[in-house]
């Protein structure tokens, strides 16, 4: 433990029993909720005495279901498994609930197969990311993301949401969720801001503890078969990285601990059984390798006796480690490696580390004991197969009316009214025009971590049976009141409406995919709609779907009322409950939501927190109007220096695993049949070209393209590019690796309209690059014909089979390079 941390630890332990904190958080100490049971510990000791080193090490390995089978579990006896954000049963992320339960049974039975030598049989534990409901499963109830729940300020509601989420998880045979997130978010540029409840550590503590209690139960109901195992994550500092996902939290360490580790005290007191280590660093040291914090602070000083699980290949980011080998993480205090792909090599190498003494037998036994302790507290050893349990296969619970009613309540209580000049509440007997890309999109209103990791993409309303879009909720109430709601995404109409609602906001994203450089909201289409309605003297309400406060001064000025709706989830009708009056003209529900994140006055106010210097928000922490309140409106400054053209010349075509607007991934087979690829995987109509996500430096930050019998793959622009991006002195840079060399000719081309296409043969270059790792190709645009309407700045055509992975495609300055070679 560092000398800087020792005084804090001593003070923090005393602080746990301070009267004020005890009253506000219900704390009487720092230790975990349940006490050690002597009978359980004796049973663990007996089991461990009969386990081989390899069997013990297998308990430390957590593979992803996309890379293992029940047969693998029977052979290697892994202690835990997970389904990542894009991993569904049998390779289908849209699998039916029945398939989830079927696979859960298969893994369970595999782990319960007796050993030939009579050694102990230890059941496998399956974990999932149920972060706003059982959000990977089609038909489940989707609650508002945590940023919306933070606005409710209602721990009892959060506790009930946890209970419902646990029940729906249990239906599909899973026992463990990686929730809640306890990040104290201090910079809203971070792509995981919406996973945090608040920028205030006290509110994060209160609501995080409530979610733990809802998921796991309390008192006699603790870890009963109505509940699941919760995870307090990501320990710690993930919200302080300056807006960079998996970055570095820098500062005085006692202060950082006091801010960012604070919510874990309440979570542990509420009985959290697992803690996930953060991807991020503290003053340059990766948390996955930080013994001072994982062991000395969390386990020793805070008294945590549950297990510490890693994040997705987080151990591989420690200097000197790889995804396949990292004894340093176990020695630092990690108990379970989350290793989605490289589990076989990691199993072998970790056993070798124990055999050589790099990992002590004592540390191995401590990790295994913690894992078995959590399993026994949950009763896992004594349970039948998942389908035979209390809630297993009770599919009527998934998205049940009772569950959806709670989600709808959460939506209505999370809405924050920022502006209202009298347009709200709306009379439902009027003609209401509902416009904007978010008006009738359940995927957009649900955000990331919805069915897939990133959400959005090619998801349609058909993927959300039983759910309700924002428009559908408004239309239902308008029709019942004798009015009319008209859906017009582009805002066009034949008959002038009485009022317009524009629903717009951020596209779905998750983790580093959502990191941004500043808080300026950049989509011009919604602003044009708002201004259009204003000019036509149609009262207009702006409904903003967002995972964080953003600089929307122009949109605020152009609207008569403005509501921050966050990411409400599957129950879009909850908005209508607040925005519309009853048929009799009365308020149905008033606004209750209060900002748990300060709202920026300027586009560079990304680190805006009460108590800090220069705290000048447009709307402060805890702001939120009601129908009984009126705030005079003064036109806001619409200038943002940061929204001027970027001084950097690089234009991203493909980055962080996704195409960058205005580009779209497209594939075509040998017959020319085209397919737009929006998700993490896809294939052309005949299957000749297939695409899957892969990890290079981060989760799913690259794509692997496989050609079977010829076809093409590229990036098509939906609109003309800025001529400056294609001017003289520009080049295209491609970061790639070759898995298998091509069996036929391969060309790289740029298309810029009719009779404007040129190509370069890159067959030999790709053949030489086979199995050589990641490389960078650099081609000046002068090698290609160019025009003003470039539609395909990057396209690869193959006449045979080969495999290529791409992590980045960028238009850059050529630096004087003129050679036309790949």
CA distances from 392 to 137, 310, 383, 398 (A): 14, 28, 12, 11
- Pair of tokens at residue 606: 């990304």
Contact call for residues 227 and 217 (beta carbons, < 8 A):
yes
Has 511 been annotated as catalytic? Answer: yes
* β-bridge mates for residue 84, sequence order: none
DSSP secondary structure letter of residue 221:
G
Has 311 been annotated as catalytic? Answer: yes
**Residue 811 parent element (H or E):** strand 802-813
Contact call for residues 369 and 89 (beta carbons, < 8 A):
no
Cα–Cα distance between 450 and 68 in angstroms, integer? 23
From 311, 325, 342, 700, the catalytic residue: 311
From 105, 168, 187, 511, the catalytic residue: 511
User: Of 204, 246, 212, 209, nearest to 231 (Cα)?
Assistant: 212
Q: SS3 for 365-390, per residue? A: HHHHHHHHHHHHHHCHHHCCCHHHCC
- Pair of tokens at residue 440: 């009738």
Cα–Cα distance between 107 and 521 in angstroms, integer? 45
Neighbouring C-alpha atoms within 13 Å toward the C-beta of 190: 30
Contact call for residues 261 and 235 (beta carbons, < 8 A):
yes
CA distances from 311 to 263, 344, 450, 718, 778 (A): 19, 18, 19, 36, 34
- Pair of tokens at residue 52: 């081989």
Helix (H, G, I), strand (E, B) or coil at 642: helix
Contact call for residues 653 and 660 (beta carbons, < 8 A):
yes
DSSP secondary structure letter of residue 392:
T
DSSP, residue by residue, 88-138:
-GGG-TT--HHHHHHHHHHHHHHHTSPPTT-PPP---EEEE--SSBSTTST
Helix (H, G, I), strand (E, B) or coil at 81: strand
Q: Which positions are annotated as active-site residues? A: 311, 511
């Amino acid at each position: 433990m560092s000398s800087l941390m020792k005084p804090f630890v001593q003070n923090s332990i005393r602080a746990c029993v301070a009267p004020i904190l005890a009253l506000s958080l219900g704390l009487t100490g720092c230790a975990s909720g349940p006490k050690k049971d002597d009978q359980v510990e004796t049973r663990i000791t007996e089991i461990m005495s009969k386990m081989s080193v390899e069997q013990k090490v297998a308990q430390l390995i957590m593979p992803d279901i996309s890379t293992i089978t029940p047969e693998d579990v029977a052979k290697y006896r892994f202690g835990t498994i997970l389904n990542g954000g894009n991993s569904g049963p049998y390779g289908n992320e849209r699998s039916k609930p029945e398939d989830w339960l079927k696979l859960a049974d298969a893994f369970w039975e595999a782990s319960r197969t007796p050993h030939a030598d009579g050694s102990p049989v230890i059941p496998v534990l399956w974990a999932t990311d149920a972060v706003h409901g059982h959000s990977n499963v089609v038909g489940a109830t989707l609650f508002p993301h945590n940023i919306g729940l933070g606005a409710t300020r209602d721990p009892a509601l959060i506790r009930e949401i946890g209970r419902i989420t646990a029940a729906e998880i249990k239906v599909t045979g899973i026992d463990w969720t990686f929730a809640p997130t306890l990040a104290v978010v201090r910079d809203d540029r971070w792509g995981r801001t919406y996973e945090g409840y608040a920028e205030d550590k006290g509110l994060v503590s209160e609501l995080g503890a409530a979610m733990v209690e809802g998921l796991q139960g309390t008192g006699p109901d603790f870890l009963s078969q109505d509940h699941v195992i919760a995870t307090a994550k990501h320990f710690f500092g993930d919200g302080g990285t300056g807006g960079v996902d998996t970055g570095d939290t820098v500062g005085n360490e006692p202060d950082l601990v006091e801010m960012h580790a604070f919510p874990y005290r309440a979570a542990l007191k509420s009985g959290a059984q697992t803690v996930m280590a953060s991807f991020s660093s503290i003053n340059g040291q990766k948390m996955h390798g930080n013994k001072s914090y994982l062991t000395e602070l969390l386990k020793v000083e805070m008294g945590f006796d549950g297990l510490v699980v890693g994040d997705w290949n987080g151990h591989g980011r420690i200097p000197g480690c790889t995804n396949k080998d990292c004894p340093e993480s176990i020695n630092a205090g990690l108990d379970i490696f989350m290793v989605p792909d490289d589990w076989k090599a990691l199993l072998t190498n970790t056993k070798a580390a124990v055999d050589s003494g790099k990992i002590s037998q004592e540390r191995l036994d401590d990790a295994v004991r913690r894992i078995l302790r959590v399993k026994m507290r949950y009763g896992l050893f004594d349970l039948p197969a998942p389908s035979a349990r209390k809630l297993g296969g009770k599919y009527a619970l998934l998205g049940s009316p009772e569950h959806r009613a709670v989600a709808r309540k959460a939506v209505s209580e999370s809405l924050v009214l920022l502006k209202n000049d009298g347009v709200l509440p709306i009379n439902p007997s009027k003609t209401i025009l509902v416009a904007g890309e978010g008006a009738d999109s359940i995927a957009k209103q649900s955000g990331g971590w919805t069915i897939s990791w990133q959400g959005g993409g090619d998801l349609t309303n058909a993927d959300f049976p039983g759910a309700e879009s924002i428009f559908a909720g408004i239309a239902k109430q308008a029709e019942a009141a004798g009015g009319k709601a008209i859906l017009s995404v582009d805002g066009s109409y034949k008959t002038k409406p009485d009022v317009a609602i524009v629903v717009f906001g951020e596209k779905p994203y998750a983790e580093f995919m959502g990191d941004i450089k500043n808080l300026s909201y950049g989509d011009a289409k919604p602003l044009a709609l708002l201004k259009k309605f204003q000019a036509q003297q149609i009262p207009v309400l702006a409904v903003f779907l967002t995972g964080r406060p953003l600089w929307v001064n122009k949109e605020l000025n152009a609207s008569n009322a403005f509501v921050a709706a966050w990411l409400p989830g599957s129950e879009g009708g909850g908005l209508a409950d607040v925005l519309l009056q009853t048929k009799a003209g009365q308020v149905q529900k008033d606004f209750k939501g209060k900002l748990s994140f300060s709202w920026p006055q300027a586009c560079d106010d990304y680190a805006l927190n009460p108590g800090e210097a220069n705290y000048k928000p447009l709307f402060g922490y805890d702001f939120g109007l009601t129908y009984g309140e009126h705030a005079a409106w003064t036109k806001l400054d619409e200038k943002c220096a940061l929204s001027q053209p970027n001084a950097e010349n690089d234009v991203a075509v493909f980055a962080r695993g996704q195409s960058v607007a205005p580009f779209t991934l497209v594939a075509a087979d040998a017959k020319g049949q085209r397919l737009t690829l929006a998700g993490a995987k896809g294939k052309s109509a005949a299957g000749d070209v297939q695409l899957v996500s892969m990890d290079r430096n981060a989760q799913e930050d690259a794509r692997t393209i496989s050609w079977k019998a010829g076809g093409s793959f590229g990036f098509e622009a939906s609109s003309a590019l800025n001529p400056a991006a294609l001017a003289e002195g520009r080049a295209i840079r491609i970061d790639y690796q070759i898995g298998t060399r091509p069996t036929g000719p391969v060309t790289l081309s740029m298309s810029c309209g009719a009779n404007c296409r040129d190509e370069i043969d890159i067959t030999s270059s790709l053949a030489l690059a086979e199995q050589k790792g990641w490389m960078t190709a650099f081609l000046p645009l002068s090698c290609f014909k160019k025009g003003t309407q470039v539609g395909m700045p990057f396209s690869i055509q193959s006449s045979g089979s080969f495999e290529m992975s791409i992590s980045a495609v960028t238009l850059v300055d050529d630096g004087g390079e003129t050679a036309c070679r790949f």
